[in-house]
Amino acid sequence: MSTIALTAPAAMPPAPAKTSGYLVLAPSCLVLTVFFALPMGTTIGMSFTDGETLAPTLAHYQRFFSDGLSLAGLYRTTVMSILVAVCVTVFGYPVAYYLARSRSRWRAVVFALALAPELAGVVLRTYGWLIILEDRGFINDALLNLGIIASPLPLSKNLFAVVVGLTHVILPFGILSLTTSIQGIDPNLERAAQMLGASRLSVLRHIVLPLSVPGIVSSLLISFTMAASAYATPALLGGARFKVLATMIYEQVLFYIDWRFAAVMAIALLLMMLTVSFLGIRYETRRSNRRTNSEGVFS
Amino acid sequence: MNSFDIELVSVSKSFAGLPVIQDLNLEIPRGEFVSILGPSGCGKTTTLNMIAGFNTPSLGDIRIRGRSQTRVPPERRNLGLVFQNYALFPHMTVADNVGFGLRMRSTPKAEIEPAVQAALRSVRLDGLGGRYPKALSGGQQQRVALARAIAPRPTVLLLDEPLSNLDLKLREAMRIELKEIHEQLGMTFVYVTHDQEEAMAMSDRIVVMWQGAIAQQGKPDSIYRSPATRFVADFIGRSNVLSVSKSAREAPFLHLTLEGSPIVLRSACVGGAQTIRSCCIRPECIVLLEETQADIVGQNQFDGVVRRIVNLGAHIELLVEIADGLRLTVLIRSGRSSFPPEPGSTVTLGVDPHDVQLLAD
Amino acid sequence: MNGVLSCLFWLAIGVVLAFITLPLAVVVAASLSPSSTVTFLPWDWTLEWFGALLSDRWLQPFLLSFRIATVVAAISGVLGILAAYAIVYEKIPGSALIMAGLLSPLSVPQIVKGVAIVLFLSIIGLQGILGTPALIAAHVVLALPFVTRMAATSLTNFDGNLDRAAQSLGATKRQRLQHIVLPMIKPGVLSGVTFAFIISFNNIPLSVFLVRPGDTTLPIAVINYLEYSLDPVMAAVNVASMIFILTVIFLFEKIGGFSTQLHGGSK
């Protein structure tokens, strides 16, 4: 390349194209800088500065980690996200297995049923769960009328309701990620195991489950991060009685007008998600490293 | 107890109303190496899947060692299967792959280890048990698949085009090796392939399938020498299939008039069919004569014009037009031909009446 | 053993599908139910709750959401195509890094992006743009990475030989972009734009910080109302907005589907 450039300086790359390339990129960069990069920088900066003097301080973080309410929020967010991740993956797995393996015409129906609700929007689905789980909702109504219970069961405004609602919202994403992973497993492996005398349960235990671990991990990660950052569902189904970081950030900004504390909470949430994503990436690189190492034995 | 390992009794199979297998009857004797040979879509894979238990016949019965297996799931049939893509478990070592069948049968741990070693030794992979399948070459993976299938000592070993992913050299070496393993184990092998050379090279018996039915079965040699139908003649080896317009018996020969020409062929073969509509001649059975030789009794002789010459190295292929639109492919050995024919030249062809095979359709 | 397992398998699928469809069915039933408590009487239904939607209370938020989503889809569509063009087609130096930068908003939760924008605007004294301008900007930040990624994928899958063939036939760069490249990536871009419209129209976590009181988008109006009441008007609003979204998808699919057919025919 460089020799050509030396001997034939006339053959220059078309410079105007490159310049126009950057020009064309400018609007996107501008928008993302002004409305994403600068706000994020500001938020981080605010979390480390004093509100009055603008001097650098860790006081807001100290307050966050010594405040019972915010620690409780952090704890609730974590528990809720773990439960949602587990529910999504456990419930999504059979459907994903069916979608990955079935060749019947019902597959399209199951696919549509499993994924179409995603188009309905979060509010509609959360509203549906509100009607079902409310104190005067569908389930309690039915149970009261049948005389099974004397007073409404506490089905809403708690961890249970939020986990149910979020599982419902996130399930399609979990199913998609698991389906892709299971589709990557050669169906002949299952048949080979069967030919070698493995029952369905053994095939599941020794072949399908171990080979879909990457899909299970990615489903857990996606579900966890989506649950931790969800706002509308915890706000409606958890209400004032079950506050998570996302709803607490909103309160800090709009009710308490404590911007710096809101910034700290936002950064805590962001760090929590980045940690989980980082763990996922590390798992993935370790896995591919192991694969290249075993190839190395051969060469 | 009869001596058949596998029997298919009037088996039919249709998918979504489309018949794939129609009234198939097949008996596979114990210890034989049987190839099921046919082009793609002929039903050979469906047949294999029904024997293995992945497909249930729509009609008919499948028996293994005399016992009906139609309702038995694959894992209870005690058959081995070698897959085209090997289907080695990527998360298990070679030894764990080979030992899988024994573990599933709850074989005591102390017995698994030696059995695995023995299976690996029989495919000449001793010492590779600790590796993962990804770290092996294609040929080695293929041997692991074989070892895994034979380790639990199945009644019958099914092989589904196991060599088709290997390169030509390796494939040819594996043919010999497979045959040796078969002889060593004395196990029944059912080998599904579309490659007639492979089937020819290894089988005790070939079952040629076409359009969901058996077109012909027999020893490789007899199938090649006397194909029963146009399809078999065409599919196995190369042949000149000729339509016959009229036939008449004139002992010891049958006289066949070729369609669209006055040429009459003498055949020494006896056909079962009432009316004969076609016959076939293998290209290598046609000889080039330097001049008309009246002294060979009964030999078919006719003149033709050489239309095309293809040099295949060891052989030369000639396309000779013996009548309007009637061309024969002739295969002659290269060096021996002292008179390399020129395109456009006239040659005399000779065919022994024993080499004119009668076809059923 | 196998029988038990396969029974469990089908049971699990049935239960999960029922779980997925239940709340949707409940909302549709509620929107048609004549009593103000939610009951299921398939022979007794009404459309009166949908009538209530024509009041300003719901029409104003709907129109605001619609306007914002349209502008967001247009802006992120254009910017996304331009960015993908620069990165994939022009292959400008450092394109991998630039792409990572353009996609980086995806790794930040929406609620964090929302709070960051509102804090930033307050600090620099631009609270005045809260409402429509801030909503549009924030939604573009949200949608742009998706659209860029979809357009970039289309461009990556685009067979460069088609471009070289057109070039050998004498097409100038402008002509090639217009007649070859754009038509080929249109389906990908259209689905990106549809997606941008939907995520803007349905958005809550960003909008919740940026709306002006009394002039809110539809989803925000709905969640505000849900704090006090679960009455069937809510069900009607939700069902209507779902029908609206499905219509939008259908319309875009029609445009996209037409070009996909052309696409398939030319192969």
Bridge partners (DSSP) of residue B240 are B281
Residues B144 and B18 in one domain: yes
Q: Which domain range does residue B270 map to?
A: 238-359
Tell me the average pLDDT across A171-180: 93
Task: Answer with the one of B230, B252, B282 that is the final residue of a domain.
Answer: B230
pLDDT at A295: 45
The answer to whether residue C89 sits within a structural domain is: yes
- Within its chain, how far is the Cα of B278 from the centroid? 23
Q: Which CATH number, 1.10.490.10, 3.10.580.10, 1.10.3720.10, 3.30.565.10, labels domain A58-283?
A: 1.10.3720.10
Same domain flag for C4 and C73? no
Cβ distance A198 to B100 less than 8 Å, yes or no, reads yes
Residue C51 lies in a domain: no
Residues B186 and B333 occupy one common structural domain: no
Domain boundary among B230, B249, B279: B230
What is the per-residue pLDDT across A77-136, written as a single tens digit (0 to 9) for each?
999 999 999 999 999 999 999 999 998 888 888 988 888 777 778 888 888 898 888 887
Q: For residues A242 and A237, give the distance between their C-alpha atoms in angstroms, rounded to a whole number.
A: 8
Residues C10 and C127 in one domain: no
B305 and B223 in a single domain? The answer is: no
- Domain extent at residue C8: 1-46
Q: Verify that C163 and C212 share a domain, yes or no.
A: yes
Q: From the list B52, B73, B89, which residue is nearest A189 (CB)?
A: B89
Helical axes C182-201 vs C56-84, angle rounded to 10° = 140
Q: Tell me: do B212 and B288 sit in the same domain.
A: no
Domain final position from B214, B230, B246: B230
Decide if A34 and C239 are in contact by the 8 Å CB cutoff.
Answer: no
pLDDT at A299: 32
pLDDT of residue B354: 86
Question: Do B81 and B10 sit in the same domain of this protein?
Answer: yes
Per-residue pLDDT for A41 more than 90?
A: yes
Same domain, B9 and B114: yes
Residue A10 clears pLDDT 60, i.e. is over it: no
For position A93, what pLDDT does the model report?
96
- Whether the pLDDT of residue C264 is over 70: the answer is no
pLDDT value, residue C223:
87
The residue that leads in pLDDT, C251 or A15, is: C251
Same-domain status, C28 and C62: no
Residues B183 and B277 in one domain: no
Rounded distance, CA C76 to CA C69, Å?
10
Q: How many domains does chain B have?
A: 2
Candidate from C80-84, C203-207, C260-264 with smallest mean pLDDT: C260-264
Sheet containing B240-250: give its strands across. Answer: B264-267, B253-258, B240-250, B278-281, B357-359
* C68 plus C151 within the same structural domain: yes
Q: Are residues C39 and C105 in the same domain?
A: no
Sites in chain B below the pLDDT cut of 50: none
In this structure, the answer to whether residues B225 and B257 fall within a common structural domain is: no
- Contacts of B51-57 spanning 24+ positions with Cβ under 8 A: B51/B6, B51/B8, B51/B79, B51/B156, B51/B158, B51/B190, B52/A191, B52/A195, B52/B77, B52/B79, B52/B81, B52/B158, B53/A194, B53/B77, B53/B79, B54/A191, B55/B13, B57/B11, B57/B12, B57/B13, B57/B21
Q: For residues C31-42, give the mean pLDDT.
A: 68
What is the number of domains present in chain C? 2
List of chain A residues whose C-beta atoms are within 8 Å of the C-beta of residue C138: 35
Residue C43's pLDDT band, with cuts at 50, 70 and 90, is: low
Asked if A112 has any chain C CB less than 8 Å from its own CB, the reply is no
**Cβ distance C138 to C114 under 8 Å?**
yes
Q: What are the structure tokens assigned to B232, written together?
A: 């078999």
Report the predicted TM-score, pTM, of the whole model to 2 decimal places.
Answer: 0.83
Q: Is the pLDDT of residue A4 over 50?
A: no
For testing contact with chain A, the best of C79, C88, C210 (most A CBs within 10 A): C79
B135/A193 touch (CB, cutoff 8 Å), yes or no: no
Write the CATH number for B316.
2.40.50.100
Q: What CATH number is attached to the domain comprising B128?
A: 3.40.50.300
* Neighboring chain B residues of A295 at a CB cutoff of 8 Å: 134-135
Kindly provide the b/e burial profile for residues C94-112, where b requires at least 16 CB atoms within 10 angstroms of the residue's own CB.
ebeebbebbbebeebbbbb
Higher pLDDT, A183 or C263: A183
Q: Give the model's confidence band at C185: pLDDT under 50 very low, under 70 low, under 90 confident, else very high.
A: confident
pLDDT value of residue B302: 84
Q: Please report, rounded to a whole number, the percentage of residues in chain C having pLDDT higher than 90.
A: 38
Same domain, B226 and B333: no
User: For the segment A156-170, what is each residue's pLDDT rounded down to a tens digit?
Assistant: 889 999 999 999 999
Verify that C176 and C207 share a domain, yes or no: yes
Q: Are residues C6 and C89 in the same domain?
A: no
The reply to whether residue A138 touches residue C38, judged by beta carbons under 8 angstroms, is yes
Q: To probe the interface with C, which of A35, A169, A231, A257 has the most C CB atoms within 10 Å?
A: A35
pLDDT for B214: 93
Residue C7 forms part of a structural domain? yes
> Which residue would you say has higher pLDDT here, C56 or B162?
B162
Same domain, B91 and B204: yes
